[in-house]
Amino acid sequence: MRKGICYLVLKTVNIYLDIDGVLITKKGKPANGLFEFLEYVTGNYTCYWLTTHCRDGTPERAVEYVNKIGGIDKELLEKIKPCKPWATFKTEAIDFSEPFIWLDDNLFEGERRALNERGMLQNMEYFDLVHDPNQLVKIMAEMKRKS
C-alpha cells in the first residue's frame, strides 16, 4: 500500500509536473479537477514542468500544449517554472537537495534507481488516470489537509 505523499508535504516544497497522463488524460481531456489543482499548487508551491514538452528547459511549448485544451488561465501556467534540461531520465532535472513531489504516469528503471538510492521513491506519485480519474483531486485534498 502506498504511504501517500501527504507526509512529505512540508512548508516549502517543489512540485514537478508531468503533463500527459497527469494533467491531461491520454484522450487529450483535462484531468478531473485540473483547473482547481493548478490554481492551488501554483499559489502555494514552487512548480516545475517535468515533461518531454520541456526537456530543453524552455517552458513555452509546455505552456502552449496545456493552454490549448482551453479554459485555463494562462497566467497560472506561466507560473510553472522550467526544470533543468535533461537528456535520458527526468531525475536528472530534479533538485534532490530540496523537498519535492514528482507527479508522473511513467517511471523508467533508471529513474526508479535514482530515487531509490536516495531513499526518495515515495516522493514520486505514480499516476494512472484510467484506473482513478480523480487522482488529481485526491492529491490536492491530501495536500490541503496537510498544509
Q: Which is nearer to Mg ion, 105 or 125 (CB)?
A: 105
Q: Which is nearer to Mg ion, 23 or 140 (CB)?
A: 23
Q: Does 111 bind Mg ion (CB under 5 A)?
A: no
The residue within the footprint of Mg ion, chosen from 16, 18, 76, 136 (CB under 5 A), is: 18
- 126 Cβ partners below 8 Å, 6+ apart? 2, 104, 105, 107
The residue within the footprint of Mg ion, chosen from 62, 102, 105, 111 (CB under 5 A), is: 105
Residues 40-99 contacting Mg ion, CB under 5 A: none
Report CA 139 to chain centroid distance, whole Å.
11
Count of residues that interact with Mg ion, criterion CB under 5 A: 4
Q: Which is nearer to Mg ion, 108 or 145 (CB)?
A: 108
Stretch that binds Mg ion, among 35-43, 102-110, 111-119, 131-139 (CB under 5 A): 102-110
The residue within the footprint of Mg ion, chosen from 21, 30, 33, 59 (CB under 5 A), is: 21
Dist CA 125 CA 2 (whole Å): 9
- Angle (CA) 24-78-48 rounded to 5° is 65
Q: Which is nearer to Mg ion, 43 or 90 (CB)?
A: 90
Q: Which residues bind Mg ion (CB under 5 A)?
A: 18, 20-21, 105
